[in-house]
């Protein structure tokens, strides 16, 4: 892990989770995300007629507003799901087993 990555990770972990998430999206939009190398051809797969460079994807909860799907694809994900379109933003929800 690089010094810059370690420093950024430590700073983000000290923030409120929603603020850290927003900053991460902004950093990705600014071009500060990781860039993966080429996938090994053995990882290529086809799903429902879509050809993917690898079968590892990013779930829609990360990029709910489809702001940084390009940088996430460049980071090495084979596919990136974005959130749905809604007329009004919804508050974040806690996962299963959480209280609150």
Q: What is the 3-state secondary structure (H, E, C) of 39-83?
A: CCHHHCEEECCEEECCCCEECCCCCCCCCCHHHHHHCCCCEECCC
- pTM tops 0.75: no
Q: How many helices (H) and strands (E) does the chain have?
A: 3, 4
**Confidence at residue 6, expressed as pLDDT on a 0 to 100 scale:** 86
* Residues linked to residue 45 through DSSP beta bridges, in sequence order: 52
| CB contact burial 7-40 (16+ within 10 A = b; e otherwise) | eeeeeeeeeeeeeebeebbeebeeeebeeeeeee
**Confidence at residue 100, expressed as pLDDT on a 0 to 100 scale:** 47
Q: Please provide the size of the chain in residues.
A: 100
Two tokens at 27? Answer: 């950093």
**Confidence at residue 93, expressed as pLDDT on a 0 to 100 scale:** 61
Three-class secondary structure of residue 6 per DSSP: helix
Condensed to tens digits (0 to 9), the pLDDT of residues 21-70 reads 888 899 999 998 889 999 999 999 998 999 999 999 998 888 888 889 99
**Confidence at residue 47, expressed as pLDDT on a 0 to 100 scale:** 86
């Amino acid at each position: 892990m690089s010094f810059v990555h370690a420093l950024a990770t430590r700073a983000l972990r000290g923030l409120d989770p929603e603020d850290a998430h927003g900053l991460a999206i902004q950093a990705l939009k600014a071009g500060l995300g990781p860039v993966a190398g080429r996938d090994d051809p053995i990882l290529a797969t086809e799903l429902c007629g879509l050809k993917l460079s690898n079968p590892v994807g990013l779930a829609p909860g990360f990029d709910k507003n489809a702001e940084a799907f390009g940088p996430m694809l460049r980071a090495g994900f084979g596919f990136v799901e974005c959130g749905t379109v809604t007329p009004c933003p919804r508050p974040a929800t806690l996962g299963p087993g959480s209280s609150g």
